Structures are given as C-alpha cells and as structure tokens.
Structure 1
Amino acid sequence: MGLAGLRIVLVEPAGPLNLGAIARVMKNFGLNQLIIVNPQCDRLSPDAMKMAVHAKEILESAVVVQTLPEALQGCVRIIATTGRVSSWKIPLENPRTALPWLLEEPEKPVALIFGREDRGLSNEELNYAQKFVQIPTHESYQSLNLATAVGICCYELAQLTAQPVTESTTSPELASWDMVEAYYQQLESLLLKIGYLYPHTATSRMEKFRQLYNRTQLQTTEVAMLRGILRQIEWAILNNRQ
C-alpha cells in the first residue's frame, strides 16, 4: 500500500504562502500529486516558491483544472475535509479513523479534497465525496489554517504506509467517480421525466440519493446493473406510449 495514487485536491486556494507550505509538507511525507481547482492566486509566484523551499517541483507539476469534477475523474474513493456541520448532518470522522479507507485500493486513483481558506467546501462539492473528515481542535479556536490541515492529513497518511492493510485477492472493483456521476445524471433525467422530481427541487432531492449511494461504495458491476435498470424503464415508458 502506498501513496502513489493519492491526489491532494485544493478548491480555489487564495494564498500563495499556503500553496508553498502545502507543497513542502506534501514532499515531507511522500505525496506528489497536487491538483488545484480554479486557483485564486499564482502557484508559481515568488511567495509560493519561496515557501515551498525544496518542493518547488510539486508546484510546477501541479495540475490546474477549472472544476472539481475534472479533478476527480477516475477516482474510486474520495474524502472531503470540512470544518463545519452541514445542514444534512453528514457523519464526520477524524483523520486517523477515516484516512486508512483511502488506501485500501492500492494503485487506483483516490482523492482528499480541501476547501477554500475562508469558507471551505459548498454542500454541492461535499456531495462528491463518500466520507468526510473534520480535524478535532480546541473549542476556544476551531478554525485551522489550510496548510496546517493538509499537513496533519499528510502526516496521518504517511504513517499508514508503514502499516499495510492486508489485501483480499477477491476484492471487488469499486466504481470510479465519473462512472457513478454518469449514473446520477441518468437517474435525475429519468426521475424528472416520470414526475418524481420537479425542476425547482431536483437538486435538493438528488442530494439525498447521492448521500445514500455514496455510503454504499458502489462497485463497477453494481453501477452497470443500476444503469441497465434505468435503460429498461426508459424503454418500457417509450413503448407503452406507442
């Protein structure tokens, strides 16, 4: 078990000093895949490069994308970090108990998402994850610096590489994020057609379906089966109308 397939995903970071510090701490603990979503600062600025010290190559090789879905393409496990309790009361775990789950799929892409410095991740962005991490802090001051949060998680991940999880030779193949996302889009389209969803409430209702399915950790064969059911329903509707 290693960290080669693990992506550190930053959503709209605004501080070049934070970016430099994150690159440095990633190199400290053996991580090198940095993906930046719609950055609000220059990752190659003098401040960022100075803060990175001997980890400048992580900033230079970072992948910059415009949307979070682009950053998650191909990932089979996704954890989002959050400093707040969402209105839909997602279960929150601490890094030590949650992060081992990311590394149970060796050599497959997985992602750990960090939100904006000032307001974290939106509910829509949290919907893309299957598990959620909140770093415990003292009640007198609970707000963590972004680079500090990344550093804590990188440390916990690095400790896990010395404690390999025994792999099962019959472990099922988990569906990638993009495969599951395509299913959600197909499901929403069908539910709108049959009147179960209405356009003005579709987003909030689909949040419930996403939360339900994300907890199950869908396998590739299961997603294929579910999509087959939806196609059959669509076929039956079409033929009954003729």
Structure 2
Amino acid sequence: MQTPSPRVQEQLAQVRIVLVRPVGPRNLGAIARVMKNMGLRQWVLVDPRCDPLDPEAVTMAVHGADLLRQARQVPTLAEALQGCVQVFGTAGRREPYPPEWQVQSPRQAFPELLAAGPVALVFGPEDQGLSNEELALCHRQIQIPTDPAYPSLNLAQAVGICCYELRTLLCPDPPLPPSPGLSKPAPFELLEGFFGQLEALLLQIGYLYPHTARRKMLKLRALFHRAGLTVSEVALLRGILRQLQWSQTARRRNLPQDD
C-alpha cells in the first residue's frame, strides 16, 4: 500500500466516522479493521448497543483492536458532530427522500467532503439506518449504488466501501515499477530467433508446408507482435519450443523401422 504524504495523513485525520446506535460487536471489529487499513483513526459511537471491547469485536478487529479502545462514546448524534464543518449522512433506504436533498454517491460527494476541514461521515443502525430526522442534521446525504434486486448493505461493508473511496481519492494508485529484466521488451534479433525456431518446428510437425509457410508465419508474427513479448516471455516460449523439438526427435527415433 502506498504511504500517504503528511498532507494526506492530515486530511484523513480530519475525517470522523460516526456510528449511530450500532448493535453488532462483530461489525464494530470489522469497521475498526478496515478503518486502520485505510488510514482512518477517528470515530465516535452514538448510544452504542454493544461493547466495543466485546471479545467478538476484538477478534474481528485483528490488528485494529487499538481503535476499539480509542472509540469515543456519546449519547446523541448532535454531540458526535460538534466541531464538524461538513456532515455527510448515509441514506440506505430506497423510499423517496425530501426533494430538497440531493442524494449522491460517495464518489460524487467525497471531493467536497475532503476540501472542507473537520468532517463527519454518519452511518445508521444495522436494522434501519438513519431516520429522516437524523439525516436532516447532515449537510449532505449519500447513498452507495447497489443492485436493486438486493440493495441492503451490511454496516461494516458500507463503512468499508466509503473508507476505500476516501482512500483512493486521496491516494491514487501509483504505477507499478517495472521489474528489472522481466518487463524489458524483446529486441528485434531475439524475436527473429524465436520466429525462426517456431517456423522450423511447425514445418517439422507438418503444421506448416513450404508453399504456405510464409503466409501463415505473417499471421503468427502479427499475433506475437500484438502481445508485445518481453525478454523473459521469449525465453519461456523458446524453452517450450526446444522441449517440443526434443520430444518430436525422440519419438521419431523410437518409431519401428520398415524392413
């Protein structure tokens, strides 16, 4: 995983995950784990209905158990949101919401969330989600796009998706560094040696005939050129060809001789 810059770490530290009346210790453990995976550490439990240090929560959190001990607990959502300049509430239900609300996906909404300052991302209870009154305390409402056939998400899954969206927005994947030798493009002479060996074997086994070899080899050349073979890939293919040539020669030696 890419190490975030100090600026990105500061932005992540401004994000507060708020869980309203969570009931499942296993969910709390899974959320602690994914928060730590994605570099988020600040969270608040509003009137929780389970103990964040329940053995099931600790087991699910694995190396994120320290976040369970750090979770702040408050009695009301309003108290959990103190100091936040932007609050995003997650809307999980499918019935119509007030027309004044512009419900967005996390990917649409999060660029503005990260540009704000201290912000909160609020999730409702597992069984019913946030009420309209609770969503009305939020500045914006977001909803994770899901298939209409089964739209309901588990709480830990919803938090995990949102944490991932935040992380990828701040830390886009860098290009993977090339592996020395493995991704080096094969030079002209190496490819020509391969094509010569391939043509000889295909003539030997009767796939090619002298009068059609040129036309078919043009097609095979085009195929391998499109593949953009590397040095190591050509070496792999030539090793296969050598084994096939040896097998073909050995088979012919073992054929019974005509009297």
Choose from 7, 15, 35 the match for 2:16: 7
Instruction: Summarize the Cα distance change of 1:33–1:139 in structure 2 as closer, same or farther, 3 Å threshold.
Output: same
Any idea what SS the aligned residue of 1:50 has? helix
Aligned-residue sequence identity (percent) comes to 57
**What amino acid is the match of 1:91?**
Q
Q: C-alpha offsets along residues 85-109 of structure 1, whole Å, 9 cap, x if unaligned? A: 454232211111111111102xx31
Give the gaps of 5 or more residues in structure 1: 164-242
The structure 1 segments of at least 4 consecutive aligned residues displaced by more than 6 Å after TM superposition are none
Q: CA deviation at 1:162?
A: 2.6
> Distance between the aligned counterparts of 2:78 and 2:96, measured in 1?
20
1:54 aligns with 2:63: yes
> Distance between the aligned counterparts of 1:87 and 1:141, measured in 2?
19
Any idea what SS the aligned residue of 2:12 has? coil
Normalising by structure 1, report the TM-score: 0.65
**What amino acid is the match of 2:63?**
H
Choose from 161, 164, 170 the match for 1:155: 164
Q: Within 5 A, what are the aligned runs for 1:62-211?
A: 62-84=71-93, 85-89=95-99, 90-105=101-116, 108-162=117-171
CA RMSD of aligned residues (A): 1.1
What number of residue pairs does the alignment pair up? 161
> Distance between the aligned counterparts of 1:115 and 1:13, measured in 2?
7
| Structure 1 equivalent of residue 243 of structure 2 | none
Q: C-alpha offsets along residues 43-76 of structure 1, whole Å, 9 cap, x if unaligned? A: 1000000000000111100000000000000100
Any idea what SS the aligned residue of 1:54 has? helix
Any idea what SS the aligned residue of 1:100 has? helix
**8 Å Cα contact 1:86/1:123 also seen in 2:** no
> Distance between the aligned counterparts of 1:132 and 1:100, measured in 2?
14
Any idea what SS the aligned residue of 2:126 has? coil
> Distance between the aligned counterparts of 2:171 and 2:56, measured in 1?
34
> Distance between the aligned counterparts of 1:29 and 1:122, measured in 2?
28
> Distance between the aligned counterparts of 1:115 and 1:73, measured in 2?
18
Any idea what SS the aligned residue of 1:112 has? strand
Any idea what SS the aligned residue of 2:13 has? coil
Query: Which fold has the larger relative contact order, with Cα–Cα distance below 8 Å and residues 6 or more apart in sequence?
Result: 1
Any idea what SS the aligned residue of 1:3 has? helix
> Distance between the aligned counterparts of 2:42 and 2:164, measured in 1?
15
Instruction: Summarize the Cα distance change of 1:94–1:87 in structure 2 as closer, same or farther, 3 Å threshold.
Output: closer
